[in-house]
């Protein structure tokens, strides 16, 4: 079983989720998604596992969202591109378990 945590070290929820994995001795990989942004296919794959639309993955409390995107009519396809280009807008943490359909939704805990 491989677990990947999509991690932002500045996020307290990400740090908390990572601590839980470490405390329980659960083997995991860390994807520093701000330094290594997700591609559109990777975002699509996570969204399918989460059963979410791109707009549902947007971190609406982020200043960038409020300054540039709030209140605008943006299609789901456009959100995919925006998320790939602006990974800070991806809600977190996301924890992916293996290659199957297992994924923990952002903000929902481990």
d(CA 108, CA 104): 7
| 74 domain-assigned | yes
| 109 domain-assigned | no
Q: List pLDDT tens digits, range 9-31.
A: 899 899 999 999 999 999 999 99
Per the structure, the count of domains in the chain is 1
Give the residue numbers spanning the domain of 59. Answer: 3-104
Q: Summarize the confidence of residues 80-100 as an average pLDDT.
A: 91
Active-site entry in 3, 11, 34, 88: 11
User: What is the pTM (predicted TM-score) of this model?
Assistant: 0.84
The CATH number that applies at residue 14 is 3.40.30.10
pLDDT tier, 109 (very low <50, low <70, confident <90, very high otherwise): very low
Strand, coil or helix: 73: coil
| 45 domain-assigned | yes
Active-site residue 11, yes or no? yes
| 19 domain-assigned | yes
Cβ burial 41-67 (10 Å sphere, 16+ → b, else e) = eebeebbebbeeebbebbbeebeebee
């Amino acid at each position: 079983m491989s677990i990947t945590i999509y991690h932002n070290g500045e996020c307290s929820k990400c740090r908390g989720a990572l601590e839980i994995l470490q405390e329980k001795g659960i083997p995991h990989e860390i994807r520093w998604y701000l330094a290594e942004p997700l591609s559109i296919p990777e975002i699509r794959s996570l969204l399918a596992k989460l059963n979410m639309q791109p707009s549902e993955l947007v971190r609406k409390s982020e200043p960038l969202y409020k300054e540039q995107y709030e209140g605008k009519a943006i299609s789901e396809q456009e959100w995919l591109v925006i998320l790939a280009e602006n990974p800070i807008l991806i809600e977190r943490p996301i924890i992916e378990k293996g290659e199957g359909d297992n994924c923990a939704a952002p903000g929902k805990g481990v």
